[in-house]
Amino acid sequence: MFYFRPIFVFALSIILLVAAISSCSVVGYKTVLNSDDINIATITIFDDDFEKALYKTDINIYGNDLTGITIIKKTDSAMRVVSVSELGMKYFDFEFPYNQQEEPIVHYIMEPLNKKLLVNMIKKDFGLLFYLPAVNNTQLLVNIDDKSNTLAKYNKLLYFSDTTGDISYIKKQRIFSPNKTIITLSQSTNPYPDTIDINHSKISFNFVALK
């Protein structure tokens, strides 16, 4: 057993080194070295002048579809998300205070959806949309071939954007497997995204803006 220990330690060191390198790099992107490469003060999804948006909604939960309308609205103290069916039956009603020290408020969620896993998922996913990190060049990477594409790294999350700061993808960084796309967005000239796709394999949300 004694003779195998150095080999084990060496192998473990290699694994940890590979993990560290993987966690610091993203294929096709390089660290921003100076302000000539790129300079983004903020990354955005809902602009400062956003007031409200109405979305056609498709929710798929383990093969069961719920369709309807979702309104996302800015209030004096929070972002409010209310989703209803075409007939007006409410699916859920969440409030996300601007003060991130406060917990999101569940005003209502219909009983079949009132599961801890799903409630926490909604809180976390919409939190990613509303609570964006402030970034600086030390947290930015720029696409090697196209400097108009950048990404910001924050708490094991990758925020892919263009030079305006509009986000197109939010991905979860993984060490031993491809980065997982959590949210896909398409931006427009409006102060809110045209489409929002949230995907957790067997649970997904699709929002298409109604003009």
Q: What is the pLDDT of residues 4-16, one digit of tens each?
A: 455 544 444 444 4
Which pairs with CB-CB distance under 8 Å and at least 24 residues apart come from 100-108?
A: 100/131, 105/78
Q: Which CATH number is associated with domain 28-211? A: 2.50.20
Q: How confident is the model at residue 55 (pLDDT cuts 50, 70, 90)?
A: very high
The domain spans of the chain are 28-211
What pLDDT, on the 0 to 100 scale, is given for residue 43? 78
What pLDDT, on the 0 to 100 scale, is given for residue 133? 83
What pLDDT, on the 0 to 100 scale, is given for residue 25? 65
Kindly give, in sequence order, each residue whose CB lies less than 8 Å from that of residue 50, ignoring residues fewer than 6 positions away: 74, 191, 192
Question: Quick one: tokens of 154?
Answer: 């924050």
What pLDDT, on the 0 to 100 scale, is given for residue 146? 84
Kindly give, in sequence order, each residue whose CB lies less than 8 Å from that of residue 64, ignoring residues fewer than 6 positions away: none
32-49 pLDDT per residue, tens: 766 555 656 677 899 889
Strand ranges inside the chain, DSSP E? 29-31, 52-61, 64-74, 78-85, 90-97, 105-109, 140-143, 149-154, 157-162, 167-172, 180-186, 195-200, 203-209
Average pLDDT over the chain, rounded to an integer: 84
Q: What's the rounded mean pLDDT across residues 89-99?
A: 96
Q: How confident is the model at residue 1 (pLDDT cuts 50, 70, 90)?
A: very low
Q: Which residue, among 139, 134, 132, 133, has the nearest Cα to 32 in the 3D structure?
A: 139
Q: In the predicted model, is pLDDT for residue 165 greater than 90?
A: no
Task: Round to whole Å and give the CA distance between 75 and 66.
Answer: 26
Q: What's the rounded mean pLDDT across residues 62-86?
A: 96
Give CA separation, 206 vs 119, 133, 143, 147, 186, in Å: 17, 24, 28, 29, 12
> 66 near 47, Cβ under 8 Å?
no
Range of lowest pLDDT (13-17, 21-25, 150-154): 13-17
Query: Around 142, how many Cα atoms within 13 Å sit in the side-chain half-sphere?
Result: 19
